[in-house]
Chain A
Amino acid sequence: MRSQLISALVLILSILNFSCKKAGNVPADLNGSIDFEDHSTAHPDREKFQNILNKYKKDGIPGLSILVYTPEKGMWIGTAGYSSIEDKIPMKLFNVFHSASVIKTYMSVATLKLAEEGKLKLSDKIDQYLPAEYSDKIANAHEATILNLLNHSSGIPDFLFQPSHEADYYNNFYATFSTGDYLKYIYHKKALFQVGEKFEYCNTNYMLLALVLDKVYGSHASLLTDRIFRPYGLFHSYYKNETGYPAPFGTVNTYVDLYGDGKLQNSSGWERNFARNNIGHDGMLFTTHDCFLFFKALFIDRKIINEQSLQTMLDFKPARDPINGYSFEGALGIERITGPKGLQRIYHVGASLGGANWLCYYPQKNAVIVINANFGGIIDSPIANMFLGYKGRGKTDGILEALEAVAF
Chain B
Amino acid sequence: MKKLFILLGILCLFSRLSCIAQKQTEIPIGFEFYNHTIGLPFDNPNKKPFNLGLAITTSYPLLLGKYSKITLDGELGYFKHKELATGININTGASYTFTTGPGIYFTAGIPLGYVRTFNAYDLYSLNDNGEYELTKDKGRSSLFLGYSLQVGYDFRKKLNIPFSFYIKNEWWLQTNYSKYLPSLLQNTLRIGINIYPFKQK
Contacts and interface: CB of A to CB of B under 8 A. Distances in A.
Interface stretch (A14-22, A186-194, A220-228, A235-243): A14-22
B78 A22 contact: no
Query: Chain A interface secondary structure, helix, strand, loop or mixed?
Result: loop
A174 B40 CA distance: 19
Contact of A260 (B47, B132, B135, B180): B180
A39 B158 CA distance: 88
> Max chain A CB contacts within 10 Å: which of B80, B129, B179?
B179
Interface string B158-185: 0000000000000000000111110011
A22 B39 contact: no
Sort chain B's interface into a size bin.
Answer: 35 or more
B37 A171 contact: yes
Interface in A3-58: 15-18, 21-24, 57-58
Contacts of A163: 40
A319 interface: no
Contacts of B43: 164, 167
A265 B124 contact: yes
B49 interface: yes
A206 to B, nearest CB: 22
B122 to A, nearest CB: 5
Contact of B185 (A24, A57, A167, A172): A167
Contacts of B122: 21-24, 86, 265-266
Given A17-B80, A17-B86, A381-B180, A259 B140 contact: yes
A263 B135 contact: yes
Interface in B19-70: 37-40, 43, 47-49, 52, 54
Interface in B93-144: 118-126, 129-130, 132, 135, 137, 140
A381 B179 contact: yes
Nearest to A264: B124
Contacts, number: 103
A62 interface: yes
B97 to A, nearest CB: 29
Contacts of B86: 16-18
Contacts of B38: 167-168, 170-171
A21 B137 contact: yes
Nearest to B129: A58
Contacts of A380: 179-180
A259 B126 contact: no
A25 B118 CA distance: 19
Nearest to B184: A170
A255 interface: yes
B126 A60 contact: yes
Given A16-B78, A163-B40, A260-B178, A85 B132 contact: yes
B84 interface: yes
B132 A174 contact: no
B124 to A, nearest CB: 5
A62 B132 contact: yes
Contacts of B135: 263
Nearest to B177: A259
Interface in A65-94: 82, 85-86
Contacts of A15: 52
A18 B126 contact: no
Interface in B74-94: 78, 80, 83-84, 86
Contacts of A21: 118-122, 137
Contacts of B54: 16
B84 A170 contact: yes
Nearest to B123: A263
Contacts of B184: 170
Contacts of B185: 167
A337 interface: no
A59 interface: yes
Contacts of B178: 258-261, 379
Interface string A272-301: 000000000000000000000000000000
Given A167-B38, A259-B179, A264-B132, 7 more contacts: A21-B118, A21-B137, A22-B120, A167-B39, A170-B38, A260-B180, A379-B180
Interface of B: 37-40, 43, 47-49, 52, 54, 78, 80, 83-84, 86, 118-126, 129-130, 132, 135, 137, 140, 177-181, 184-185
29 contacts: A16-B80, A17-B86, A21-B118, A24-B122, A58-B129, A58-B130, A60-B130, A62-B132, A82-B132, A86-B122, A86-B124, A170-B38, A170-B184, A171-B38, A171-B39, A173-B83, A174-B83, A259-B177, A259-B178, A260-B179, A262-B125, A262-B126, A265-B122, A265-B123, A265-B124, A266-B121, A266-B122, A381-B179, A381-B180
Interface of A: 15-18, 21-24, 57-60, 62, 82, 85-86, 163-164, 166-168, 170-175, 255, 258-266, 270, 378-381
